[in-house]
Amino acid sequence: MSDRKPKLAVFKFASCDGCQLSLLDCETELLELAAVAEISYFLEASSRALPGPYDIALADGSITTEEDVRRIQEIRKQSKILVSIGACAVAGGIQALRNYTSVEEYARYVYPKPEYIRSLETSTPMSKHVEVDFELNGCPVNKNQLLEVVAAFLQGRRPNVAPYSQCVDCKIKGNICVMVAHGVPCLGPITHSGCGVLCPSFNRGCYSCFGPKETPNAPSLGNWFIQEMHVKPETVERALRSYYSGSDLMKTASEEFGAARQKFGLSPTPLHPKNE
């Protein structure tokens, strides 16, 4: 990048806005960031909307409309580096639960006049539509990791974001394992590091809002819940179908437990039975 300040752009798709808000939540670093990069497009924060091309584009949210398919393709063309930030952009988000059923039925449930609603059948990640240069996990993303990603691309290097499981972080932090010590089912073993192992630090099991870690074995963990902790299959199915329900891995694994539920015909139970 030459003498001019690199141009940073932030775009929003279907989301809660939390991931781009994470950037505004970097209160101490925000003005410093504005000093080294030109924030060219960030509607949540500024009325100034400069045209591309951009050096770095951050996009949060999932793709749920035809218009948004066109928009992400145009953003890709305009951006040297495109980073999808957050569970919605990386995996489709909680709204990808529609992928398991009919969006028409959803629209009929929520809206008196569903015919006014324009929405695709599925909620999909950016990577299903365009090539992305980096994916940052989390619902929401961790703001320190977000700053690392932006800093890395400004410096022309790969971001340093660990791909291992939550368990590694619990060991580093010195947390007592909630599963071993308290019998609380925890998705930490298959979940991507990054949040700072919040849930186990608050005596609850991880509910996987950072999505699958590298090479997870979700079926094995699910079977362990069922056999050793007497969790019902449909509870495992539901637990795997949440903030990353749109990821192929969670889809395949959860369907396995859905089949188990049909086989045994069991009644639903909560994921944290010991806490009831």
Partner 1 sequence: MSIQSKTSDSPSNRTIRVEALARVEGEGGLTVKMRDGAVESVQFNIFEPPRFFEAFLRGRHHTEVPDITSRICGICPIAYQMSAVHALEQALGIEVTPEIRALRRLIFCGEWIESHGLHIYMLHAPDFLGYEDAIEMSRKYPVQVTRGLELKKAGNDLMSAIGGREIHPINVRVGGFYKFPERRALEKMLDPLKRARDIAHETVQFVAMLDFPDYVQNYEFVSLSHPDEYPILEGKIATSRGLEIPAAEFPNHFEEYQVEWSHALQAKISARGAYFVGPSARYYLNEAKMPPGVRQAATSVGFSREDCRNPYKSIIVRSLETLFACEESIRILERYDDSVPERVGYRVKAGVGHGCSEAPRGLLYHRYEIEENGIIREARIIPPTSQNQKSIETDLFNVANRNALRPAGELAHRCAHVVRNYDPCISCATHMLQVILRSAG
Instruction: With beta carbons less than 8 A apart as the criterion, state whether 188 and 164 touch.
Output: no
Structure tokens, 125 = 């990640």
User: By C-beta, is 137 or 242 nearer to partner 1?
Assistant: 242
5 scored as a contact of partner 1 (CB under 8 A)? no
Cα angle vertex 190, ends 187, 191, to 5°?
75
The CA distance from 107 to 158, in Å, is 41
Residue 52 CB-density burial (10 A; 0-12 exposed, 13-18 middle, 19+ buried) = middle
Given 40, 79, 84, 119, the residue binding partner 1 (CB under 8 A): 119
What character string, x for contact with partner 1 (CB under 8 A) and - otherwise, covers 69-108? ------------------------xxx-xx----x-xxx-
Judged by beta carbon, residue 3 or residue 202, the one nearer partner 1 is 202
Site string for partner 1, 15-54 (x = CB under 8 A): xxxxx-xx-xx-xx-xx--x----x--xxxxxxxx-----
From 190, 180, 166, select the one nearest 240 (Cα to Cα): 190
3-state secondary structure of 123: coil
Residue count (the chain): 276
How far is 160 from 179, CA to CA, in rounded Å? 29
Q: Is 117 in the site for partner 1 (CB under 8 A)?
A: yes
Assess 247 for contact with partner 1 (CB under 8 A). Answer: no
Residues in the site for partner 1, rule: CB under 8 A? 12-19, 21-22, 24-25, 27-28, 30-31, 34, 39, 42-49, 64-65, 68, 93-95, 97-98, 103, 105-107, 109-113, 116-117, 119, 123, 139-140, 195, 198-199, 201-204, 207, 209, 235, 238, 242-243, 267-272, 275-276
